[in-house]
Structure 1
Amino acid sequence: MGQHVHDLFVIGGGINGCGIARDAAGRGYSVALAEMNDFASGTSSGATKLIHGGLRYLEHYEFRLVREALMEREVLWAMAPHIIWPMRFVLPYHKGGIRPAWLIRLGLFLYDHLGGRKLLPATAVLDMRRDAAAKPLKSLFTKAFEYSDGWVDDARMVVLNARDAADRGALIMPRTKVTSARREGDLWSIETVDALSGVQTTHKARMLVNAAGPWVDHVIREAFGQHEARHVRLVQGSHIIVRKKFDGPRAYFFQNPDNRIIFAIPYEQDFTLIGTTDRDYAGNPRDVKISEEEIAYLCGAASEYFKEPVRSEDIVWTYSAVRPLFDDGASKAQEATRDYVLKIEGEGSGAPLLNVFGGKLTTYRRLAEHALEKIAGAIGAKGGSWTAGSHLPGGDFPATGYDAEVAKLKTAYPFLTEPHAGRLVRRYGTRAAMLLGASSRTEDLGYCFGADLYEVEVRYLIDHEWAKTADDILWRRTKDGLRLTKEQAAILADHMAGRPALMAG
């Protein structure tokens, strides 16, 4: 029997690669995907975690991108209401600020009307002399604008796309590096190596999709031998996490004197996320980390607004990532386009290649649809668009029904505390019951590694979401790394390494 030939082979397990793999598998294509590390271990877990239109992109006249992103907010919320939810953003204003009030009003008017908003509340003007949003801020702000966008658990969105692609028949291979790809007649021959076992495998595919994010040019240079490839501009974005700076569910949008903006966002119940920075990056994307300069910038910018200054010693965690923006020649990192570009090579001559440049979390689904249009033109169509009315795993409940889903889980498992049930629904939605199984008391959940991370959840993540290391669980599948002590994290690491005896006691 001859070797199986996939229709598509996707390089890259970030949001774009996993989104394309899911869409293609759902249309009936035979799909394989290889990611050299864990899912969302690069750009896709290093964002500000927003499902948003990009209010500041209006200043750079990116109307197509903003309209598409605005239209996607409610589509994605309906697809995954467990990991995506609405959030109100407060934009404090004072006379003499960077942007005049009329310009902000115009931008927010466009924001309200460009994108087919149906469920998200409209823009409002706040009197900061009376509104609770003023409480943590300095007294110079007497007015603010409030608008709607969304929040997403970015790394979970990636892994759920991979999970659904696998459930629809795709071969999903994390920790599998593509070492070479070459055309052999009308097919691609792709060599991979499993990072854990060292096993080398040859795959055949009719078409190749390069969605390697920050490494997209590296793949073009190394795997395909196009040594002059220079398509992306790497821009570093860093964030800091501090203990909760304010109460309430609203986030803040702060304008800085250098014309840049940062967000301050409620994070994991007990924390505040502050970011992001924008600066060009020239190193290896895997080595990116926050600099002292960026820490000082974020602390200083936030302290211009908060009554209580943000100090470096307040930081409990940081994360950084490199955004692979399509190089449009913009003079400043923050002005480079956030839109995506899809370029196909070899169409009509056999073994076509699709390179994916740029993209945002918010527009990943539309990027995948546009990619599938190009794929259909290159190797023939299978099926039609289907993802707009779909659900990611666990998301099959109404977008407005999170509280009801938590109550339902509590009724089925009355031994759960309210916070524990809420966190399980936020991570797994309707699949929380699959995770808990026949448990009827807390003791049935197994060993508790810390906070409310129990053995039964760890086992689920290993069995269903490809988790291999403690970091996979603590920083990507969950954010329990914020709550576990170093000793507790070490016990989890030992457990993941096959030394469960250390859990005794």
Structure 2
Amino acid sequence: MSQQPAGSDDVVDLAVIGAGINGLAIARDAATRGLHVVVVDRADVGSGTSSTSSRLIHGGLKYLERYDFNLVRESIRERHLLFRNAPHLVRDYPMLIPSYAGDSRPGPLIRLGLAAFDVLSAGRRKGRSRSVPLRTVARRWPTLSRRGLRGASLFRDAQVPWAERLCVELLLDARRLGARVLTHTTVTGLVVENDRVVGIRAEDNTSGARTEIRAAITVNAAGPWIDRILDGQVASRRLNGGTKGSHIIVDAFPGAPDTCIFFEAAADHRPIFVLPWEGRYMLGSTDLTYEDDLDEVVTSDEEIDYLLAETNRIFPSAGLTPGDVLYSVAGVRPLPYTAGVSDNAKISRGHTVHSHAPAHPGLFTVIGGKLTTHRALAEDVTDAVLRVLGRTRRRCLTRSRAFPGADTADWPTFSADFMRSSPLTPAQSRRLLDVYGVRARRVLELAETDDTLAEVVDEETGALAAEVVLAVREEGAVTLGDILLRRTLIGLGPDMGLKAAAACADIAVRHLGWDEGRARAEVAGYEAELRRFRPRVLDTPVRTGSSDRRTS
């Protein structure tokens, strides 16, 4: 458990189930407005859907074809705010959109959509979209397939390479504001009295200690697991209809572009990305109806073949095979249940704050939501909670509140000063800034307290032992997986941190009070956690859900 649980005689204003990006954002927003908040999650912060996205901060271009202008405007606004409030984590990300004969979205339609997008995002863009002449495509992207190429456009969006760190910084800020976040703690039930939900029951996954957290309002923000939380507890229709999305990670391949390519798959006309990502490439994603176990979501062989075939088609020199896949990432989007849908792309990507009153007052469930709009979702939830509590509505502060890693008056100046003064190599210094922002100085401070904390624990990234200690002491990490996959990000390298795992566990023995038995168990547990990624280094066999199906 990352913090001590609330006692049974405590009554908080708000209990939030789920420490994904939405649950954490709700805690942060509510805490800025004076509410006493507790968040509970059975795993780590951001360890579910939040860490399985395409790592894009979408302006919402794709939603224009569904005429969802409100979602587009909201996405553009939230992207703009993230550029300002988290400049160390969110960066400008140009995309080339080629148009081929046979595409369901012809070039003129794409250009019309881009023009409309530019109008909607006036004043909130890094640059306008523009058409790219074929001769320029041939010179600038010479390995892109020319077969049937009709034109191309350049579009500017945003990327968050480390979505995990967005979640960690929301955790840090929520805790700084007084919220309690209990990770590795399973919600075992809702507390219901006379049909009113008055809190939750929870159990520490490690110690087995049980607690009851009584709350004026409970918010179910468990993403695709929302129906599981409600099942057998309160009467409710099915709310979640999430679809499975998978990505595969590969090294740079022959002809790999240095710009994101956003194109239409020949097999099913689904938009596909070839995403440059921290020296490697992310290919994705799929969009499959998924009815199997939410705890066993794994990329299938069919999905891998599909993504490789489409990438090889668009880049004929790539020659990618399944053996080139370093690992894969699969998750279920928390979309609203929509009966009889024939095309998953038509399911809304917006969010709804669903009240269970009058049948079960005191309970809200968050349906939908996406990485880009987590802050807006949280504002909506807190507004709804304040109305039910009868509190005077307090102004939302998160629109202008910097993330902890951007807590400086001038980020560019801080970044330049850090690069000049850091005793580390330029690559190490740049990585610390990209991962921790201004808190990179805290890493160096820890490293200066003990020579062993200045040691490099991972040759691939140049990460320092001090980061392992920081992850546990200050960033809420509990397990080795928390440290490697969602704090230091060592685990997102080519071998998923397996070479560094034992060294990091040893640091925990020397500095964090782990004994040798726990260290061995943590390394074994980490390897088990990695199997859902099917990492090449483990040669993991696939477990394919029989109910995966493509509907578009």
TM-score (norm 1): 0.92
When residues 442 and 166 of structure 1 are mapped into structure 2, their CA distance, relative to the original with a 3 A threshold, is closer
Hey, what's the Cα distance between the residues in 2 that align with 1:372 and 1:212? Answer: 16
When residues 462 and 133 of structure 1 are mapped into structure 2, their CA distance, relative to the original with a 3 A threshold, is farther
User: How far off its partner does 1:40 sit?
Assistant: 1.0
Hey, what's the Cα distance between the residues in 1 that align with 2:187 and 2:8? Answer: 22
Q: Which residue is 2:146 aligned to?
A: 139
Q: Which residue is 2:501 aligned to?
A: 489
Q: 265, 273, 279: which one pairs with 1:256? A: 265
Hey, what's the Cα distance between the residues in 2 that align with 1:20 and 1:376? Answer: 12
Are 2:334 and 1:335 aligned? no
**Amino acid in structure 2 at the alignment position of 1:177:** T
**Amino acid in structure 2 at the alignment position of 1:491:** A
User: How far off its partner does 1:249 sit?
Assistant: 5.1
Hey, what's the Cα distance between the residues in 2 that align with 1:178 and 1:105? Answer: 48
Q: Which residue is 1:391 aligned to?
A: 402
Please state whether the residue corresponding to 2:35 is helix, strand or coil. coil
Q: Which moved more, 1:314-323 or 1:111-120?
A: 111-120
Hey, what's the Cα distance between the residues in 2 that align with 1:21 and 1:441? Answer: 33
Are 2:184 and 1:175 aligned? yes
Q: 448, 454, 461: which one pairs with 1:446? A: 454
Hey, what's the Cα distance between the residues in 1 that align with 2:135 and 2:484? Answer: 41
Q: Which residue is 2:444 aligned to?
A: 436
Give matches, 1:112-191, under 5 Å: 112-131=118-137, 133-140=140-147, 141=149, 143-152=151-160, 153-184=162-193, 188-191=198-201
Tell whether the 8 Å contact from 1:234 to 1:322 is kept in structure 2 after alignment: yes
**Amino acid in structure 2 at the alignment position of 1:322:** V
Q: CA RMSD in A?
A: 2.5
User: How far off its partner does 1:244 sit?
Assistant: 1.9
Please state whether the residue corresponding to 1:386 is helix, strand or coil. coil
User: How far off its partner does 1:346 sit?
Assistant: 2.8
User: How far off its partner does 1:119 sit?
Assistant: 4.2
Please state whether the residue corresponding to 1:324 is helix, strand or coil. coil
When residues 249 and 462 of structure 1 are mapped into structure 2, their CA distance, relative to the original with a 3 A threshold, is farther
| Deviation digits for residues 412-453 of structure 1 (CA, Å, limit 9, x no counterpart) | 32x211111111111111111022116569956433221212
Please state whether the residue corresponding to 2:345 is helix, strand or coil. helix
Hey, what's the Cα distance between the residues in 2 that align with 1:278 and 1:22? Answer: 31
When residues 398 and 243 of structure 1 are mapped into structure 2, their CA distance, relative to the original with a 3 A threshold, is farther
When residues 136 and 417 of structure 1 are mapped into structure 2, their CA distance, relative to the original with a 3 A threshold, is farther
Q: Which residue is 1:479 aligned to?
A: 489
Q: Which residue is 1:219 aligned to?
A: 229
Give matches, 1:250-329, under 5 Å: 250-257=259-266, 258-268=268-278, 270-306=279-315, 307-329=317-339
| Deviation digits for residues 300-337 of structure 1 (CA, Å, limit 9, x no counterpart) | 11111113232211111111001121023332222211
Hey, what's the Cα distance between the residues in 1 that align with 2:217 and 2:464? Answer: 42
Tell whether the 8 Å contact from 1:220 to 1:229 is kept in structure 2 after alignment: no
Q: Which residue is 1:233 aligned to?
A: 241
| Deviation digits for residues 2-50 of structure 1 (CA, Å, limit 9, x no counterpart) | 9221000000001111111100001000101101111111111100011
Hey, what's the Cα distance between the residues in 2 that align with 1:135 and 1:328? Answer: 42
Hey, what's the Cα distance between the residues in 1 that align with 2:208 and 2:8? Answer: 24
Tell whether the 8 Å contact from 2:29 to 2:378 is kept in structure 1 after alignment: yes
**Amino acid in structure 1 at the alignment position of 2:419:** K
User: How far off its partner does 1:172 sit?
Assistant: 0.8
Question: What runs of 5+ residues in structure 1 fail to find an aligned partner?
Answer: none
Please state whether the residue corresponding to 1:36 is helix, strand or coil. coil
The percentage of counterpart residues that share the same residue type is 33
Q: Which residue is 1:456 aligned to?
A: 466
Tell whether the 8 Å contact from 2:452 to 2:465 is kept in structure 1 after alignment: no
Hey, what's the Cα distance between the residues in 2 that align with 1:265 and 1:397? Answer: 30
Q: How many matched pairs?
A: 496
| Deviation digits for residues 92-148 of structure 1 (CA, Å, limit 9, x no counterpart) | 123443321210011111111113443411101223423554133123347320111
When residues 309 and 142 of structure 1 are mapped into structure 2, their CA distance, relative to the original with a 3 A threshold, is farther
Please state whether the residue corresponding to 1:39 is helix, strand or coil. coil
Hey, what's the Cα distance between the residues in 1 that align with 2:399 and 2:31? Answer: 15
**Amino acid in structure 1 at the alignment position of 2:504:** L
User: How far off its partner does 1:493 sit?
Assistant: 4.0
Q: Which residue is 1:346 aligned to?
A: 357
Please state whether the residue corresponding to 1:304 is helix, strand or coil. helix
User: How far off its partner does 1:56 sit?
Assistant: 2.1
User: How far off its partner does 1:201 sit?
Assistant: 1.0
Q: Which moved more, 1:246-255 or 1:80-89?
A: 246-255
| Deviation digits for residues 59-79 of structure 1 (CA, Å, limit 9, x no counterpart) | 222221112111211111111
Q: Which residue is 2:67 aligned to?
A: 61
| Deviation digits for residues 446-493 of structure 1 (CA, Å, limit 9, x no counterpart) | 332212121101111111211122222222224322155633223324
**Amino acid in structure 1 at the alignment position of 2:105:** R
When residues 145 and 350 of structure 1 are mapped into structure 2, their CA distance, relative to the original with a 3 A threshold, is closer
Give matches, 1:407-426, under 5 Å: 407-413=416-422, 415-426=423-434
Tell whether the 8 Å contact from 1:122 to 1:147 is kept in structure 2 after alignment: yes
Q: 377, 394, 398: which one pairs with 1:367? A: 377
Tell whether the 8 Å contact from 1:206 to 1:351 is kept in structure 2 after alignment: no
| Deviation digits for residues 139-174 of structure 1 (CA, Å, limit 9, x no counterpart) | 334732011111112111112112111110011101
Tell whether the 8 Å contact from 1:37 to 1:176 is kept in structure 2 after alignment: yes
Please state whether the residue corresponding to 1:384 is helix, strand or coil. coil
Please state whether the residue corresponding to 1:232 is helix, strand or coil. coil
Please state whether the residue corresponding to 2:333 is helix, strand or coil. strand
Are 2:23 and 1:17 aligned? yes
| Deviation digits for residues 347-396 of structure 1 (CA, Å, limit 9, x no counterpart) | 6x995111100101111111111111211110023521110111111113
Q: Which moved more, 1:200-209 or 1:189-198?
A: 189-198
Q: Which moved more, 1:274-283 or 1:228-237?
A: 228-237
Hey, what's the Cα distance between the residues in 2 that align with 1:97 and 1:470? Answer: 45
User: How far off its partner does 1:409 sit?
Assistant: 1.3
When residues 211 and 81 of structure 1 are mapped into structure 2, their CA distance, relative to the original with a 3 A threshold, is same
When residues 277 and 438 of structure 1 are mapped into structure 2, their CA distance, relative to the original with a 3 A threshold, is closer
TM-score (norm 2): 0.84
Q: Which residue is 2:45 aligned to?
A: 39
Q: Which moved more, 1:473-482 or 1:29-38?
A: 473-482
Please state whether the residue corresponding to 1:436 is helix, strand or coil. helix
Hey, what's the Cα distance between the residues in 1 that align with 2:257 and 2:372? Answer: 24
Hey, what's the Cα distance between the residues in 2 that align with 1:237 and 1:493? Answer: 32
